[in-house]
Amino acid sequence: METTKKKISDLKPYEGNARINDKTVDKLADAYERYGYVVPIVVDQNNVVVAGHARLKAAQKLGWTEIDCLTSDLSDEKNKEFRVIDNKIQEISEWNDELLVVELRALDYLVSEFDMKIESALTTSFGLDVSEVTDEDIKKSADGFDNVFGDRVDKAQDRIVSICCEHCGTEFGVETEKVGL
């Protein structure tokens, strides 16, 4: 499949789209302004959206007139199946917390090095509004973890050491067993 530019006015949302994505549209529009548009909309031979309804709405919100699309060569039945499967598969994804910590620390490095605003990056990327989180909220959450997990949290933290890359200065959290400590 090749990516082609199509007029947004020629694209048709699938009438049976069961996905509710209104909350996603603003976040996608913000992400497009920050990072650019990198994931094309998938349409069928009749320009009906197969995957990317929220992306289409975000582009419309930004006033775009054209957008990159992939034209599916699947049958109507397979396109119908793909519409559901594509969304459902994303719902079962999970985070690898250790790698997420490393990525967030790298973002923190970028914030200090390039004067990026971490709060806006987290809001855009994860939908988190950390500006509304108070010290009291953090204390309540920490107390809740202590009550539920007890000393297991401390033991887990004791297994993680910080390693700083001598080339870029990025700090990584690594489990002690993985580095032989």
Longest distance between any two alpha carbons in the chain, whole Å: 60
> Dihedral of CA 62/64/70/71: which sign?
positive
pLDDT score of 128: 55
pLDDT digits (tens, 9 = 90+) for 136-160: 665 666 565 555 444 444 454 556 6
pLDDT score of 53: 94
Q: Who wins on pLDDT, 110 or 77?
A: 77
First to last CA, the chain: 49
Q: Strands 66-71 and 41-43: what pairing?
A: parallel
Q: Comparing 13-17, 108-112, 161-165, which segment has the lowest mean pLDDT?
A: 108-112
CA 123/CA 8 separation, integer angstroms: 27
CATH topology of domain 3-91: 3.90.1530
Per DSSP, which regions of the chain are E strands? 3-7, 41-43, 49-51, 66-71, 160-164, 171-175
In this prediction, residue 1 has a pLDDT band, given cuts at 50, 70 and 90, of: confident
Angle in degrees, CA 91, 121, 64, rounded to 5? 80
pLDDT digits (tens, 9 = 90+) for 64-97: 999 999 999 999 999 999 999 988 888 888 878 7
- From-to residues of CATH 3.90.1530.10 in the chain: 3-91
pLDDT score of 104: 72
